Chain A
Amino acid sequence: MAEPLERLTNLLALLLETKMPLTLEQIANELHGQYPLNETARRGSFERDKSVLRDLGVPIEQQVLAGDQAGRTAYRIDRRRYELADLDLSADERQALQLAVAAARSDDAWGQEGLWKLGVGSERPALTVAAMVPSFEALPPLREAASSRSPAVFVYREVERTLDPYGLLLRDGYWYVIGHDHARREVRTYRVDRIHGEVRVGAPASFERPADFDIRLVFPADPKLLGEPEREVTRAIVRIAGSRAALVAAEVGDQAVVRRFDDGTIDVEVPCVNRDAFRSWVLGLTDNAVVLGPEDLRSDVIQWLTAIAGAR
């Protein structure tokens, strides 16, 4: 029997060359002696080969035949869908892409695999300026869905969401996907690293992206507005120590500063839609922030702290 690599290569060549879709029997006949004779074993080997090719990105088409072959499945590969279009990249454009991939320094191999297809080698140029671009399994299907205007389905905070993704944004080291949420009927932002499991991509051309859409403008100005509201938006008043006042004012915006004291202390009014996120934000400032009100938010933080203080 042929080596697995040899059989895979021959199968790929055969499906690319054939004018007519071929059944497994025809394939086994053409690749004489390479697939097992036993029908179950042959089907098993072929299914494994097929899934290897699909995982590589090979677009294998299948159709169920009619006529004297009725009910049998036949396979072929459309060369136009298989082949990379000629991008006509010049030498300096190739080199620029190579530098970009090196500078992104992702720990996956996706960028280099892509570069090889564009004729760029794996030699790594020396760099003095770089940006780490974090990488997650959910990103490629989300980008594809945004590009082809297909709805994306994924699990976020244990709830399945259907989103018409308008785009992806890397900001402050996090990837966000922004789009129209079907169930909520409004534009929503989700953090991509919090998406759990697989992203399923639906039918293309299912939605229109608003013509004037700019992901940077739609992004919620306040990270505490991200995700799913558990309750109505509450306006919380938080007192910030002078040493952190400038940093916090820059973060929440000057219009959120409702009171200024001579010693530099400020009071800010911030939205709270998610208690966990709000508490996390306040506690990140440790003793430089005190929640003044409303009373139930203040006592929520006090209870949380009292529990920790008593756990010694």
Chain B
Amino acid sequence: MGALVLAAGDEFTPPTAEAFNLPPIFGWVTKPILLIVLSVVLIIGFFLLSSRKLSVVPGKGQFLVESFYDFGRNNIAREQIGSRDFLRFLPLILGLFSFVLVNNLFGIIPILQFPTMSHIGFPLALSVLVVYPVYHYAGIRRHGLGGYLKNQLVPPGAPKAVYLLLTPIEFFTKFIMNPLTLAIRVFAAMFAGHLLIMLFGISAEFLLLHGDGITKIFSVFSFGGAIAMTFIEVLIMSIQAFIFALLSANYIGAALAEDH
């Protein structure tokens, strides 16, 4: 950041949100759309190839695939939804986890270098059009519309007067905010992370090319910052994918639960 201030005298322009406005490659097809398609091809290929010849006694490769599958299955889906119903929702949870994870990781893969989820349209499609209907539908099917609404909006155990406040809050949370926050969380993390890496990268380049004398040396710190941010981003990308799948499973589990 110190380097930035030093460089402010020149015509340094820090990256803005405009950097995410990618022009169409052809027609309406943009880079994120190509990346989304690529991610689906990659994930489907990975799962289909790795699950082609599964043996009861796993080899090394199968063990790794199984570890990934088991993480989605046991640590996310079964933990949140419960062992009775989780198998029905396992494809969804596994899909969300791998889909978000791969698209996030695109942000640090050379050439691709763009986290698809930093375009809010994609996480919104997942949360509002997939997760949101799924968990409400599951809850209504389990408890009936009235029972489900009562479960969700009138959690038992509070004094009667509190419901005047509690029920609107619950409604706001569960029917409006949950899908939006789910999408915004991963979008904002990816957006900010990519912006930070760009900032470090561009400033390092600017310092190196336009810095005079001793300020060139500071570009080393900027490069170092870009590399460090990349490592942190890997962590954040994985965690965001995990959280997305975890919260989706959590909403489903809460909708299916007998009482709040």
A and B assemble together? no
> Which residue numbers of B lie inside 8 Å of A, CB to CB?
none
